[in-house]
Amino acid sequence: METDPAEKASLVSSRRRFLGTGALVGTVGLLSACTTPPGGATSNGGGGASGGGAEGSDDYTAAIKKLVAGRELQVGFTPPVLSEYYTQMENAAFTRMAQLEDLYGVKWKWEKSSPTGNFNAVEQQISTVQSWTSREFDIVFICTGANFATMQGVYKKAMDSGTKIFQFNQPVELYPIDDVNTVSNIGYDNRWQSGYVAGKFIADTLKGQGKIIQIMGPAGSDWTKARLVGFNQAMSENPGLEVVGSADGGYLRDKGLSAAQDLLTRNADVNAIYGENEDMALGASQAVDAAGLKQWDGNQGVVIIGADGLLSGMDAIRNGKLTASVDVNSVDNAIKMIDTAFQSIVLKNYVPKVSNITTHLVTKDNVDAYASYINGVMSPAKKY
Amino acid sequence: MPTSSTHSSAGLRIQSILSKPGSGIVVMLVLFVIVMAVVSPAFVTFGNWQNIANQGVFVLLLALGMTVVLIARGIDLSVGSVMGLSAGVSAYLITQGLIFPLALLAGIACGIFCGLLNALMITKLGLPDFVATLAMLGVARGVLFLWTAGTPFTRYMTPAYSLVGGQTQIAGFVSIPIIISIAACIALSLLLRRSVLGRYLYAVGGNPDAARLSGIPVNRIKTYAYLISGGCAGLAGVILAGRATNVAPTMGTGYEILAITAAIIGGAALTGGQGRMIGAVLGALTITLITNAMNIAGISSEWQQLVTGVILLIAVLLDRLTTYFKHRQRSTEIAAAVSVDPTAKPVQHVMS
């Protein structure tokens, strides 16, 4: 399932060029996806630079600029919580927006609102979407921990009023796609591009034998449900692996630490810990140190893997405090999100209902490449 | 064969034990520990109790402050957010090169300052306690969100902070957070039981109008209560930053509910005038113990919420049973006194 790290590094390098050389190539990539009928097929893979024809030509740029006609887009961005992951996303979005503005003259007005509680504090997000709808926003980018059915009603009202909804980083794979009332859903398949990757990494590292504990997100979280599907699949393919304990770490480091301490009390002979996100995995890493256990050194110790792709997590991988992490690609998520909205709203293209970006398995061997990729967007040319 | 008089004296002894404040919770905790020892021997290991103590100090510190506020007939909904903000202040100042002890003191001072703002909103602007502290909850959280811009503070950890955060044990068995919590508990207990301020807090909470008529400076006493609560939140935040090794903008979210729950389990009342520090300890212990035990017992997180709710309900009901036995004990004492000396006056109620 995973490609060679060198191949991935090359992929990263080419993506950096994609960002570094401006939006043109990317825009051709996004324009290449325009023939998918609305509500239609699922697209896998990032936008990429697969377009042909007039890419890079001045005529093409001028033609697109003419279509844009200096239009200003009022955008609302509402993640489920303010966190490092969504900050990375926001910076990547700004980078991309500035590129499109520079090339095609599209203008952006950006508002951000996030619940000030935890992932379950969703009422505030519903109000936010309703407020943005009444203020006639063009675009709402949303990722929410709210109940699926509740949000579809909110989305439908917004879409009927002319405010177009785009979900990002949302586990839509759990629901029939025809029931999702959005223009498009940009993210990745949590089952096979996150949970399964983590499970398979543990299996490969431990050669299919060992005891595992899981530190998961809050009960009922869609991310948890989806990632567990993939993780459990990897476990079923490796009957020598046994999950000996699981606890709720609430997506927080201190709760992850406490949960891991509790589980290690009963399972001191554990071989691997799966943290459903990086913060919980880092908490588990502290618990391993506190319990006097050895972290994985390439031959022995406790394997710890998380998921997110945070710069702080990558620091931990460099320092040997995290064995690996599934980077769910905050940067491409944001770029694809902006591109899809630009295509759909400004160019009136038909965009895929689901667009999945690539995810990466980050280890000590390739961490520099992926960290550089994120750092490349952390100082956008313009903030909105 | 036991006689009715032995039955009666055993019954009186049980009644006497159960009438002691907090005894219901103690009984429940003892039973809980026995059951858990059978379910998983790992639960009763020294290492696990170290974990429980280290995990519980945050709820405990907040519950101590919350109990003081509840005694004074207030409520502090801002403690979780203030804890997060205080953690942010200490972490940020360390990254800016401020010497470690001053950075910690600044974090605690931030908590006290938030407590002062709460008190001013309540006593000077006349806002209800609930509203004022709810506003502070939002303000403190908002400041931390804006300040961090969504990205956690990191790279502030030092060996000294690891010690303060409880990651390093002293002599291999006790951590600084545990020592601080014990010290805070003793200090506040002495304040409540032995000082004029303590008596005034109960008086203000029990009947604010009567307290005012008696010449007690009600507003000043409430201000002290919120300063103590803010200070406890600041202290908890400073320690939590050392344990978590990063300060996320969501740090401390939901802790206010845990603190209120612990204080209420421990016998404090929303109606004021009641509460003890040992009760806060028992309440915090109950909450931490339940989570720890369920993780060890392998109860899935879906079931954990239900089980936690049921156990907390049992804990509170047992505490109410204690109150019932206390009243029965008093009735028995009064009846006994009257039967010995029909002219005897009723037993005076003592402040709990």
pLDDT digits (tens, 9 = 90+) for B261-305: 999 988 898 889 999 999 999 999 999 999 899 888 888 777 877
Distances (CA, A) of A76 to A123, A251, B169: 16, 25, 48
Using the beta-carbon criterion (under 8 Å), do A82 and B249 form an inter-chain contact? yes
Give me chain B's average pLDDT, please: 88
Kindly indicate the confidence band of residue A11, based on its pLDDT and cuts at 50, 70 and 90: very low
The dihedral over CA atoms of B267, B270, B276, B282, expressed in degrees to the nearest 10, equals: 40
The nearest CA of chain B is from the CA of A84 a distance in Å of: 4
Share of chain B above pLDDT 70, in %: 90
Residue A13 has a pLDDT of: 39
Residue A334: its chain B contacts at CB < 8 A? none
pLDDT of A167 above 70: yes
pLDDT of B22 above 90: no
Residue B343 has a pLDDT of: 59
Using the beta-carbon criterion (under 8 Å), do B51 and A258 form an inter-chain contact? yes
Q: How many CA atoms lie within 13 A of A357 on its CB side?
A: 25
Partner residue opposite B55 with nearest CB, options A86, A258, A263: A258
Q: How many CA atoms lie within 13 A of A200 on its CB side?
A: 15
Domains of chain A as residue ranges with CATH: 24-188+330-358 (3.40.50.2300), 191-327 (3.40.50.2300)
Closest-CA residue to A203 (of A295, A303, A293): A303
A84 to chain B: closest CA residue: B151
B145 to chain A: closest CA residue: A82
Kindly indicate the confidence band of residue A43, based on its pLDDT and cuts at 50, 70 and 90: very low
Compute and round to an integer the Cα radius of gyration of chain A.
21
Using the beta-carbon criterion (under 8 Å), do A266 and B245 form an inter-chain contact? no
Count chain A–chain B contacts defined by CB atoms under 8 A: 103
CB A158 within 8 A of CB A137: no
Reported as a single tens digit per residue, the pLDDT across A74-105 is: 999 999 888 889 999 999 999 999 999 999 99
Distances (CA, A) of B7 to B2, B220, B339: 7, 52, 21
Specify the higher pLDDT residue, B129 or A31: B129
Put simply, whether A265 touches B (Cβ < 8 Å) is yes
DSSP A109-129: EEEE---SS-TT--HHHHHHH
Mean pLDDT, residues A177-202 = 96
Kindly indicate the confidence band of residue B137, based on its pLDDT and cuts at 50, 70 and 90: very high
Burial pattern B73-99, b for ≥16 Cβ within 10 A else e, equals bbbbbbbbbbbbbbbbbbbbbbeeeee
Integer Cα distance of A284 and A251 in angstroms: 12
Using the beta-carbon criterion (under 8 Å), do A265 and B305 form an inter-chain contact? no
- State whether residue A66 is helix, strand or coil: helix
Using the beta-carbon criterion (under 8 Å), do A219 and B301 form an inter-chain contact? yes
Using the beta-carbon criterion (under 8 Å), do A253 and B244 form an inter-chain contact? yes
The nearest CA of chain A is from the CA of B103 a distance in Å of: 21
Using the beta-carbon criterion (under 8 Å), do B243 and A257 form an inter-chain contact? yes
Integer Cα distance of B149 and B141 in angstroms: 12
pLDDT of A50 above 60: no
DSSP A329-360: -HHHHHHHHHHHHIIIIIS--B--SEEE---E
CB B246 within 8 A of CB B95: no
pLDDT of A217 above 80: yes
Look up residue B350 and give its amino acid.
Answer: V
Using the beta-carbon criterion (under 8 Å), do A87 and B151 form an inter-chain contact? yes
pLDDT of B100 above 70: yes
Integer Cα distance of A121 and A144 in angstroms: 9
Best B44, B52, B95, B253 member to test A by mutation, with max A CBs in 10 Å, is: B253
Residue B148: its chain A contacts at CB < 8 A? 82
Residue A53 has a pLDDT of: 35
Integer Cα distance of B290 and B285 in angstroms: 8
Using the beta-carbon criterion (under 8 Å), do A312 and B292 form an inter-chain contact? no
Mean pLDDT, residues A107-113 = 94
Determine phi and psi for A42, rounding to 5 degrees: -85, 135
Best A90, A254, A278, A318 member to test B by mutation, with max B CBs in 10 Å, is: A254
Residue B154: its chain A contacts at CB < 8 A? 312, 315
A256 to chain B: closest CA residue: B244
Specify the higher pLDDT residue, B324 or A271: A271
Residue A384 has a pLDDT of: 93
Residue B170 has a pLDDT of: 86
Kindly indicate the confidence band of residue B33, based on its pLDDT and cuts at 50, 70 and 90: very high
Put simply, whether A368 touches B (Cβ < 8 Å) is no
Reported as a single tens digit per residue, the pLDDT across B44-62 is: 999 899 999 999 999 999 9
pLDDT of B87 above 60: yes
Put simply, whether A312 touches B (Cβ < 8 Å) is yes
Lowest mean pLDDT of A319-328, B145-154, B317-326, name the range: B317-326
Mean pLDDT, residues A216-245 = 94
B253 to chain A: closest CA residue: A117
Specify the higher pLDDT residue, A246 or B13: A246
Put simply, whether A379 touches B (Cβ < 8 Å) is no
Mean pLDDT, residues A250-269 = 92
Q: Please tell me which of A78-87, A248-257, B192-201 the model is most confident about, judged by mean pLDDT.
A: B192-201
Specify the higher pLDDT residue, B90 or B28: B90
Using the beta-carbon criterion (under 8 Å), do A286 and B43 form an inter-chain contact? no
Best B43, B50, B81, B151 member to test A by mutation, with max A CBs in 10 Å, is: B151
Using the beta-carbon criterion (under 8 Å), do A245 and B298 form an inter-chain contact? yes
Put simply, whether A240 touches B (Cβ < 8 Å) is no
Determine phi and psi for B187, rounding to 5 degrees: -60, -45
pLDDT of B164 above 80: yes
pLDDT of A317 above 90: yes
Residue B305: its chain A contacts at CB < 8 A? 219
Integer Cα distance of B301 and B294 in angstroms: 9
Using the beta-carbon criterion (under 8 Å), do A219 and B304 form an inter-chain contact? yes
pLDDT of A325 above 70: yes
Kindly indicate the confidence band of residue B68, based on its pLDDT and cuts at 50, 70 and 90: very high
Integer Cα distance of A223 and A277 in angstroms: 10
Residue B47: its chain A contacts at CB < 8 A? 265, 291
Residue B304: its chain A contacts at CB < 8 A? 219, 248
Residue B238: its chain A contacts at CB < 8 A? none
Reported as a single tens digit per residue, the pLDDT across B165-195 is: 998 888 878 999 999 999 999 999 999 999 9
Question: What burial class does residue A373 get, using C-beta atoms within 10 Å of its C-beta: 0-12 exposed, 13-18 middle, 19+ buried?
Answer: buried
Using the beta-carbon criterion (under 8 Å), do A253 and B40 form an inter-chain contact? no
Integer Cα distance of B281 and B56 in angstroms: 9
A268 to chain B: closest CA residue: B42
ipTM of the complex: 0.79
**Integer distance in angstroms from the first to the last C-alpha of chain A?**
38
Partner residue opposite A216 with nearest CB, options B253, B298, B301: B301
Residue B172 has a pLDDT of: 78
Partner residue opposite A247 with nearest CB, options B152, B243, B301: B301
